[in-house]
């Protein structure tokens, strides 16, 4: 049973003011994920001791790391990463500017193809901006032909990250129209917030899955260490890939239901 974890690590600075990439790695290791999507990593930045946080965490976990700096100043970088011990290939890593004017803060995304148990899964990791106008442009870019609508971004697909947006927002709804929030599969997990870590009440971190992914479990990790290691809690999702035939059958059933709804509406409207 494969699992993915998304975690905004806040440059590994805990709410207790302790700076520790290895503490972050310890939390991740306890969850035993196959794929890890991390946001807010410092690489070679003076403010965090010049450490390559992405590599330190990957080495501690025995994983390969794909890192993309949304911000680069000389040798100092700040951005997001996808880690995995499974065979993986970086497909794309770019800023989500979509040709728009400069954002308040640059934000990017990574797309990595990961072979999990013999199945190629397209995994995207992102960290959207704080202003609503930025997030709307960024999510439109992510949903566009260079990313999720690209022919190579075929099922199974998982999109994870810190979206800085709750479920009722326009940004969330646009993405939820294309993919399914992993927490909506299971009633018990729907209201598990991830921010702020000490007393969480906001759902800002999400995992969205395509139609060929079945979610088996989704939970915010609320251990004592996770509550202090970052200002976000990790979100862990267990899943399985649905066989292509089953996926096609379920898609046909959904289409049939939709057709019936349209027919019924047409009759009522006559």
> Quick one: DSSP state of residue 72?
E
Which residues of the chain register pLDDT less than 50? 245, 252-270
* Residue 201 to residues 38, 233, 237, Cα–Cα distance (Å): 21, 11, 19
Q: Please give the model's pTM, rounded to 2 decimal places.
A: 0.89
**What's the pLDDT at 244?**
62
Distances (CA, A) of 33 to 4, 48, 65, 99, 219: 5, 26, 14, 35, 13
How open is the CA angle 134-138-143, to the nearest 5 degrees?
Answer: 150
pLDDT of residue 104: 74
Per the CB < 8 A criterion, the answer to whether 121 and 241 are in contact is: yes
- Rounded Cα distance between 240 and 214, Å, is 5
d(CA 70, CA 79): 5
pLDDT, tens digit, 9 for 90 and up, residues 149-202: 999 999 999 999 999 999 999 999 999 999 999 998 887 667 799 999 999 999
- What's the token pair of residue 209? 């899955």
The token duo for 247 is 């996926």
CA–CA separation, 238 and 217 (whole Å)? 5
Strands of 3-8's sheet, edge to edge? Answer: 64-73, 76-84, 35-43, 3-8, 235-241, 213-220
How high is the pLDDT of residue 261?
Answer: 37
Taking every pair of C-alpha atoms in the chain, what is the biggest distance, in angstroms?
Answer: 70
Check residue 139 and give its pLDDT: 97
Q: Which domains does the chain have, with CATH numbers?
A: 3-243 (3.60.10.10)
């Amino acid at each position: 049973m494969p699992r993915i974890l998304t975690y905004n690590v806040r440059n590994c600075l805990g709410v207790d003011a302790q700076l520790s990439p290895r503490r972050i790695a310890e939390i991740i290791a306890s969850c035993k994920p196959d794929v890890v999507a991390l946001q807010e990593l410092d690489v070679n930045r003076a403010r965090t001791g010049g450490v390559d946080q992405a590599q330190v965490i990957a080495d501690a976990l025995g994983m390969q790391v794909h890192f993309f700096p949304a911000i680069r100043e000389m040798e100092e970088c700040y951005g997001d990463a996808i880690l995995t011990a499974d065979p993986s290939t970086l497909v794309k890593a770019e800023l989500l500017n979509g040709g728009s004017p400069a954002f308040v803060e640059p934000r990017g995304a990574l797309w990595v193809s990961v072979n999990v148990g013999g199945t190629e899964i397209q995994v995207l990791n992102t960290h959207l901006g704080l202003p609503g106008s930025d997030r709307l442009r960024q999510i439109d870019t992510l949903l566009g032909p260079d990313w999720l609508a690209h022919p190579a971004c075929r099922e199974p697909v998982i999109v994870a990250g810190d979206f800085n947006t709750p479920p009722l927002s326009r940004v969330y709804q646009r993405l939820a129209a294309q993919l399914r929030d992993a927490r909506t599969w299971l009633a018990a997990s729907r209201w598990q917030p991830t921010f702020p870590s000490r007393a969480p009440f906001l759902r800002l971190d999400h995992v969205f899955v395509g139609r060929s992914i079945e979610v088996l479990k989704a939970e915010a990790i609320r251990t004592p260490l996770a509550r202090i290691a970052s200002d976000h809690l990790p979100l862990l999702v267990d899943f399985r890939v649905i066989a292509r035939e089953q996926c096609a059958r379920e898609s046909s059933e959904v289409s049939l239901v939709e057709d019936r709804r349209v027919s019924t509406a047409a009759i009522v409207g006559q």
